[in-house]
Chain A
Amino acid sequence: MLNKQLLIVGAGPAGLAAAIEAKKNGVKDVLLVDLNMKAGGQLMKQIHKFFGSKEHRAGVRGIDTGAAMLKEAEELGVEVWLKSTCVGFFDDKVACIEKGMEDGSKKIIYLKAETIIIATGGQENVVRFKGWTTPGVMGAGAAQTMINVNKVQPGQNIVMLGTGNVGLIVSYQLMQAGCNVVCLVEAAPGIGGYGVHASKISRAGVPIYTKHTIKEVKGNGPNGRVSEVTIVEIDPKFNPIEGTEKTFAADTVTLAAGLKPVSELVKLQDIELVFNGPFGGWVPTHNEKMETTCPGIYVAGDTTGVEEANTALEEGKVAGVSAAEALGAISAAEADKQRAEIWARLDGLRMGPFGEKRAIAKKEVMAKFPGVRA
C-alpha cells in the first residue's frame, strides 16, 4: 500500500494553502486530491478583485491568487491528483481514492496517510418552489462556473434568487459575460450582501425585489427548459401575498441561497460534529490547530463552516502548519508562533457588521471541542 505523510482532500483555497504551508515547513510528502479537472476550487471562477487587506492579496482577482498558489504548490513539489475522488476512509487513516488516470479511466487506490486534512468545501443550497427541478434552474455557482471557467453562457435571460454576496457578484459577472439579468429576488427585507456589490447591479439598471420570492417556474421552453418565472411579494412571516405576482420571460433561474459545508468525509470518521446555523449546518468541532477530535485529522475552509475564500485560505495555512508540527517537521513553539500570526489575520477577516456573526459562530464551534482523543 502507498504511504503518504500528508493527504489533503480538496484542492481549493484551503487545501492548496495547507499543502503550500506544510511543504514550506518541511513536510516532504504531500498529496493533494481533487475530483475536478483543475485545481484551485472555486477560486478559479472568482474573476473579481478581492476585498480585505494587503496580506490577503486584496485588490487581486481570485483567479490570479489561485494561479499564483498553483504555481507555488508546483514549485514546492506538491503531488496533485486531479479527477480523483476520495471515496472514504478505513481505520487508521487508510484512504480509498478513485484516481483519475491519464487515459480517462479510473483506478481504485488505497493509501495510508500519517496525517489528513479534509478541505472539501461547500455545496450550494437549493430552494424548492413549483418547478424547481426544471432544466435551467441551477446554482448561482454553477452559472458562474459556466461563464468564467468554461466560457459558455448558461442561458440568456436570468432571474437570480438571493442577494447575498454570491447572488450579487454572480449577477454582475453574468452581465460581464453578456447575459441579461432580468431581476434579483430576495425574501428578506434587505439586501444580504455588500452595498457596493448591490450598487453595481443598480447602476446596470437591474431591479432588486426584496420581500419577494419565486412562486413558480414554468418549463415550456425547448426540451422543457425554463420559459417563465413568477415572483410574489411575501409578508413578514414569509407567506405569499396574493395578487402581487409578477411574471417574467426567462430561460434560466440561478439560486444563491447560501451554502452548506460538504462534510461527508468528516462524517465517515469518528469525528465530533456540531450544528451551527450561521455556518450552514453540521460542522466538525476543532481546536486552534484545526485538529478534529480524531488525532491527526485536520479540517479547513468551508467544510468547517461556510465563510469565504480568504478565511478558507488562512484556515488551510493553520492546518498545514499543524500537520507539519504533528509530523515532526517543526517544533511546537515554531508552530504556535506561526499559528498566532494567522489567527490574528483571521480575526481581522471576521470583523464588522458582516463578519461578526462568523466570529461568534467560530467561537461557538471551537468552544464545543472536547479535546483530541488519545
Chain B
Amino acid sequence: MCMRVTDHVILGQDLNPKMIEITVDGQKVPAKEGEPILAALLAQDIMVNRYTVKRNEPRGLFCGIGQCTDCAMIVNGKANVRTCITPAVEGMIVETQYGYGGANDVK
C-alpha cells in the first residue's frame, strides 16, 4: 500500500486537503487538488502508467520530475502526457497508455 503522508515531523500535518475526482481507465479516483496525476494514482496503489511499444511491458514512476517519460499516459485524449508534472484537474479523463497511445503511431 502506498499511504499518503498525513503526519510528518518536518512537513507537518496534511489532514483535510481539498479533494477532487478524476477518471482513470473508467474508474473514479480521488485526487488532491493540484497534485500531479501520478501522485493521485500512487495513493490508490496504481503503479503502472503505460505498456511499452515493442514488448508490451509495464512501466511506472521512475524519475518523478518529468525527465524519463515512464509515467506517460493518455490524458483527456492526448497521449504521452507526463503524469508526474501534470496537475490533476476535476473531471480529467486518464487512461493507461499502450505503446504510442494511438498518437504518432509508427508503422
Contact between A and B in the complex (any CB pair below 8 Å) = yes
A→B interface (CB under 8 Å)? 35-37, 42, 47, 61, 83, 104, 123-124, 133-139, 141-143, 145-148, 150-156, 176-178, 222-225, 262
Does the CB pair B47–A152 fall under 8 Å? no
Q: Which residues of A contact B20 (CB under 8 A)?
A: none
> In the docked arrangement, what's the CA distance between A145 and B89, Å?
20
Q: Does B63 sit at the interface, judged by CB under 8 A?
A: yes
> In the docked arrangement, what's the CA distance between A43 and B86, Å?
19
Main secondary structure of the interface of B (DSSP, over half): loop
Q: Does B106 sit at the interface, judged by CB under 8 A?
A: no
| Complex: chain A residue closest to B42, CB-CB | A152
Does the CB pair A138–B62 fall under 8 Å? yes
| Complex: chain A residue closest to B67, CB-CB | A123
> In the docked arrangement, what's the CA distance between A348 and B26, Å?
56
| Complex: chain B residue closest to A85, CB-CB | B66
Does the CB pair A61–B10 fall under 8 Å? yes
Not counting A123-B67, A151-B11, A223-B48, a sample of 7 additional A-B residue pairs whose C-beta atoms are within 8 angstroms of each other reads: A47-B11, A104-B86, A138-B61, A141-B65, A150-B35, A151-B39, A156-B2
**Nearest chain A CB to B64 CB, angstrom units:** 3
A151-B61 contact, Cβ under 8 Å, with A37-B85, A136-B47: no
> In the docked arrangement, what's the CA distance between A223 and B45, Å?
10
What are 8 A-B contacts with C-beta separation under 8 Å? Answer: A135-B60, A138-B62, A150-B36, A152-B5, A152-B39, A156-B3, A223-B46, A262-B67
> In the docked arrangement, what's the CA distance between A151 and B65, Å?
15
| Complex: chain B residue closest to A147, CB-CB | B5
Residue-wise interface mask of B (39-72) relative to A, using a CB-CB cutoff of 8 A (1 in contact, 0 not): 1001101111000000001111111111100000
> In the docked arrangement, what's the CA distance between A83 and B34, Å?
13
Partner among A61, A104, A148, A225 whose Cβ is within 8 Å of the Cβ of B47: A225
A176-B65 contact, Cβ under 8 Å, with A135-B58, A150-B35: no
Interface size in chain B (residues, C-beta < 8 A): 38
10 cross-chain pairs, A with B, having the tightest CB-CB distances, nearest first:
A142-B64, A150-B39, A135-B60, A145-B64, A151-B5, A135-B47, A177-B5, A152-B43, A153-B2, A47-B10
Partner among A47, A83, A136, A142 whose Cβ is within 8 Å of the Cβ of B65: A142
Among B60, B63, B65, the most chain A Cβ lie within 10 Å of the Cβ of: B65
> In the docked arrangement, what's the CA distance between A104 and B38, Å?
16
A37-B36 contact, Cβ under 8 Å, with A146-B61, A178-B5: yes
Q: Which residues of A contact B1 (CB under 8 A)?
A: 153, 156
Residue-wise interface mask of B (65-88) relative to A, using a CB-CB cutoff of 8 A (1 in contact, 0 not): 111000000000000000011110
Q: Which residues of A contact B107 (CB under 8 A)?
A: none
Q: Which residues of B contact A83 (CB under 8 A)?
A: 85-86
> In the docked arrangement, what's the CA distance between A17 and B76, Å?
37
**Nearest chain B CB to A85 CB, angstrom units:** 8
Does the CB pair B3–A153 fall under 8 Å? yes
